[in-house]
Each structure stands twice: as structure tokens, then as C-alpha cells.
Amino acid sequence: MERTFEVVALVEEVAAPLGIHPVVVGGMAVYFWTAREEFVTYDIDVVMEVPRELDEHLAALGFSRVADGRHWRLEDTDVLLEAPGAQVDRDAVIAEIALPSGRSAKVLSRVDVLLDRLDEFQATGHQIVGQQVLVLIAGLSTDEEAVLDARAAARRVGVILKTMRRLADDLESGRAHPESDELHEIARAALRAEYSPRS
Amino acid sequence: MKTPPITLEQWRREAPQQRAKSAKVVAALGPIRRDKPRDPVEARFLRSIGTPERLIGPEA
């Protein structure tokens, strides 16, 4: 993980003068906040815009852009960077990681990672995303719970959050793990509740 | 909103406690297998570094 964040910190060094600050999101952010290796893969998702000038800086660092336009491979290494979007949410909280090298890297906060995963799970019902939601919920502090509650309704993930919290509690109490069909139904029901016209 | 920086040393120190918080939930989840489609570029990369297929998942 240290190497991953050092790579992002190097990118930050060349991007910051352009006003661009890469933020680690996705699976690596889930790993950072859960310390759980069960889900982690070593591709790096960052949110940042990549104008031509930054692309040139990345090339100077040794990155080559893949033909799909949104992945960069650091040549002769096992580093793959993906920049899937240009901006994090306006209300997002970004945490800073101070690295032994003296550099720093940015990662989306635990609450924001969870809000994003809730949103994705509600939209897709993917089991792996639902499992990450459950693990992230289990690791929340009391303060984070309060922030999450305050922000979930605005993101239209209040219903799914309530359901997944209950499921996390039930799992801790010994219930069997939910099958894929059950998770899809949970997601569909929450989506209907959030987006159906109110009577 | 600004939060205080987290050092990697701090992260490593707190990781066991963090893992413990989710231990019961993870134990109850059963086998972890990605069902979310994976971008082909990422799938090729992950295979090239020896990532287990269960974490790569189906290709998009």
C-alpha cells in the first residue's frame, strides 16, 4: 500500500502546480479504510482531470497512456493508474496521508467511500459492492455515523443505508450471509423507495 | 473540510483494531468473489501480476 500511495504522491507533485490533486478512490480506498485484504486488487483508481500538460508530465515520469484513454501504465512496473472521473463530489471530505518519503497523497474519506459504494450498490445490486458496504459500515466511528446520517438523504441512499446497517447487525449476530438474489432485491427495493414519486 | 493527516505508521498501528471491527461481518460473508464486470485493460493487468481470478471477476 505504501508504494501505491507513493506513486499517487509523485503524480500529485507534478499535478499540483496545475491545480490538480489526484484523490484515491475505489478498491484501494476501501482497503485503506478497512485494512481488509479480502477485496483489494493493486490497480489504482484516482479522481483527477488529465489535461494534455499533465499527460506530458505523466509521460516524463514514465507513464504511458493506454489506448482506452483513461488508464496509465508505469512502464516496466506493476503499476496501473485509472482516472475514471475529473472531480469528487462537492461535499466530499478528502483525507491526507503523510508518507515516510515526506510526500503526501489524498484519499477519499471513509464516509464518502461508503456513500459512493451505497450509491453503486443501490444502482447495480452487485454482491461485491454490497459486501464492501457491510465491511465499511462495521468500521464506522460514532462521529462518522453522525456525518453519514446527515449526508445520506441528500445522496438518496438513506433507505439502502438503513437496510444495510440492519443486515450488518444481523450478520454480527450470526445470521447466514446474504445470497446474490437477496442483495439484488435489497438494492431494487431501495432504489424504488428513493426514486418513486411521493404520494 | 480539512482533516488531520494520517501517517502510514498510524495506519499500521490502527489496522488490527480496524480489522477487528469488521471481523464478524467478514466471517459471515462467506467466499469473496467479484461479480462486478471488470474493464478488459484492468483484467489483463491484474492477470499479469498474478491476481486471483475471483478478485478479477467477469470481463466487461
**pLDDT single digits (tens) A169-187:** 999 999 998 889 999 999 9
Same domain, yes or no: A90 and A116: no
> Which of A50, A85, A108 represents a domain boundary (last residue)?
A108
Contact (CB, 8 A) for A7 and A81: yes
Same domain, yes or no: A147 and A79: no
Same domain, yes or no: A78 and A118: no
* CB contact A131 to B (< 8 Å): yes
ipTM of the complex as predicted: 0.93
Residue of B nearest to A138 (CA): B22
Residues lower than pLDDT 70 in chain A = 198-199
Interior angle at CA A60, CA A63 and CA A72, nearest 5: 15
Same domain, yes or no: A127 and A152: yes
Same domain, yes or no: A117 and A104: no
Per-residue confidence (pLDDT) for residue A1, from 0 to 100: 84
> Which of A108, A126, A151 represents a domain boundary (last residue)?
A108
Per-residue confidence (pLDDT) for residue B5, from 0 to 100: 92
Per-residue confidence (pLDDT) for residue B2, from 0 to 100: 65
d(CA A121, CA A131): 9
Chain A 34-63, CB below 8 Å of chain B: which residues?
A: 34-36, 38-43
Residue of A nearest to B48 (CA): A78
Same domain, yes or no: A65 and A9: yes
Inspect the interface and report whether the beta carbons of A100 and B8 lie closer than 8 Å.
Answer: yes
Chain B hits for A139, CB-CB cut-off 8 Å, are 18, 21-22
A107 forms bridges with which residues in the sheet? A24, A95
* CB contact A122 to B (< 8 Å): no
Same domain, yes or no: A101 and A49: yes
> Which of A81, A108, A135 represents a domain boundary (last residue)?
A108
Same domain, yes or no: A116 and A165: yes
Same domain, yes or no: A152 and A78: no
Cell of B37: 464486470
Q: How many domains does chain A have?
A: 2
Dihedral angle over CA of B55, A29, A145, A190, nearest 10: -50
Same domain, yes or no: A104 and A26: yes
What are the angstrom distances between the C-alpha of A175 and each of A131, A157, A165, A182, B29? 15, 24, 14, 13, 10
Same domain, yes or no: A62 and A93: yes
Same domain, yes or no: A48 and A76: yes
Per-residue confidence (pLDDT) for residue A199, from 0 to 100: 47
Pairing of strands A23-25, A63-65: unpaired
Per-residue confidence (pLDDT) for residue A198, from 0 to 100: 64
Q: In this prediction, what percent of chain B has a pLDDT beyond 90?
A: 87
Residue of B nearest to A166 (CA): B25
Residue A101 sits in a domain whose CATH number is 3.30.460.40
Cell of A142: 460514532
Q: What is the pLDDT of residues B19-38, one digit of tens each?
A: 999 999 999 998 899 999 99
Neighbours of A1 (CB within 10 A): 17
Domain that holds residue A150: 111-195
